[in-house]
Amino acid sequence: MATAIVTGTSSGIGEAIAQVLLKNGYNVIGLSRRRGDIHHPLFEHLPCDLSDLAVVDILQKKLIELEDLEILVNAAGFGKFEPHEELSSKTITDMIALNLTTPILLANALMRPLKKSKGIIVNITSIEATRHSKFSALYSATKAGLRAFGLTLFEETRNSGVKVVTINPDMTETPFFDGFRFGVGKEDDTKLLTSDIAQAVQYLLDTREGICVTEMTIRSQRFGITKKQ
């Protein structure tokens, strides 16, 4: 049975994508600090801190042994939106590690089994990877870097049969915004749901052999934001 690895399965977009893959019959290995709410016989949770590159190094050695790997989804990430001088050095290094370095390392370690299966890498970036917003310099840099990595990696691996897909979601209703001074809009057409991103992954699974959708930007019809007290 084919295996998929998904980071950030404890909640949000990663959890929604994992659920879609489980419905499609994949064995899913979830990489996150917490197990979350996924309870399924085909789901295995590997607890880990993906911002700790020493942990990622150990993880690489374990995952590279997989012989039936078909999908890697890099969905884990976090953001902090403040003036750049207000960010601590730990926040900066942790965000770069989790949002950018870890996906690059996982792709590096797992490329051979993915080439063998002619598999798929899906990188979840952000709308911020495509624009320039106030107080978003660090976050945008990590997501723009991941976007550039994915689009370039496809050019490198396309003849081997590996698909590399970049998904840039707009503001999505997830725990990502917990603790922020703002959140998604209240009306349905001013926000995305995690199921919208998962549906995009289902579309990728249904795409016929021989073509690759290299990038998808998913946005709400209207702009909306909620300011918190």
- To the nearest 10 degrees (0 to 180), the angle between helices 137-157 and 102-117 is 20
CB within 8 Å of 211: residues ≥ 6 apart: none
Taking the C-alpha atoms of 21, 189, 126 and 107 in order, what is their torsion angle to the nearest 10 degrees?
Answer: 10
Task: Please tell me the distance from the alpha carbon of residue 165 to that of residue 11, in angstroms, as a whole number.
Answer: 21
Phi, psi of 119 (to 5 degrees): -90, -165
Q: How far is CA 174 from its chain centroid? A: 13
Q: Is the dihedral of CA 207, 213, 3, 33 positive or negative?
A: negative
Sheet of 163-169: strand order equals 43-47, 27-32, 3-7, 69-74, 120-124, 163-169, 215-218
**Which residue in the list 26, 43, 139, 176 is annotated as catalytic?**
139
139 is catalytic: yes
Cα dist from 9 to 45, 55, 81, 84, 88, whole Å? 8, 17, 23, 29, 26
Residue 45: beta bridge partners?
30
Cα dist from 28 to 40, 45, 108, 110, 115, whole Å? 9, 8, 19, 15, 19
Residues annotated catalytic, as ranges: 139
